[in-house]
Structure 1
Amino acid sequence: MVINQQIYNVKGLQYIIRSADTSDAHELSHLRVQLDGETENLDREPGEGCMEESDFKKLIQRDTESKRNLFLVASVHNEIVGFSRCQGNELKRFSHKVEFGVCIAKEHWGYGIGKELLQQSILWADSADMKKMTLNVLETNKKAIDLYTKFGFEIEGVLKNDKVLSDGKYYNTVVMGRFA
Structure 2
Amino acid sequence: MIVKPREYAIHNLQYLIRSAECKDAKALSEVRLQIDGETEYMDRVQGEAYIDEEGFQKIIKKDSDSLTNIFLVAEVKGAIAGFSRCEGNELKRSSHKVEFGVGVLMAYWGYGIGKNLLKESISWADSNHIRKMTLSVLETNEKAISMYKSCGFKVEGILQNDKWLSDGEYYNTLLMGSLR
User: If the TM-score is normalised by the length of the shorter chain, which range does it land in?
Assistant: over 0.9
Alignment partner of 1:165 is 2:171? no
Unaligned regions of 5+ residues in structure 1, if any?
A: none
Q: State the partner residue of 1:124.
A: 124
Shift of 1:90: 1.8
Shift of 1:39: 0.8
How many residue pairs align between the two structures? 180
**TM-score normalised by L of structure 2:** 0.99
SS in 2 for 1:37: helix
- Give distance in 2, aligned partners of 1:82 and 1:146: 19
Shift of 1:87: 0.2
- Give distance in 1, aligned partners of 2:19 and 2:9: 18
Aligned identity (percent) is 57
- Give distance in 2, aligned partners of 1:18 and 1:39: 25
Q: State the partner residue of 1:98.
A: 98
Deviation per residue, 1:43-94 (Å, 9 max, x gap): 0001100001000000000000000000000010000010000000121111
Q: Which amino acid aligns with 1:46?
A: Q
- Give distance in 2, aligned partners of 1:79 and 1:71: 16
Q: Which amino acid aligns with 2:135?
A: L
**TM-score normalised by L of structure 1:** 0.99
RMSD across aligned positions (CA): 0.5
Unaligned regions of 5+ residues in structure 2, if any?
A: none
- Give distance in 2, aligned partners of 1:52 and 1:76: 22
Detail structure 1 runs of 4+ shifted over 2 Å in the superposition: none
Matches within 5 A, 1:35-74: 35-74=35-74
Matches within 5 A, 1:136-147: 136-147=136-147
Q: State the partner residue of 2:79.
A: 79
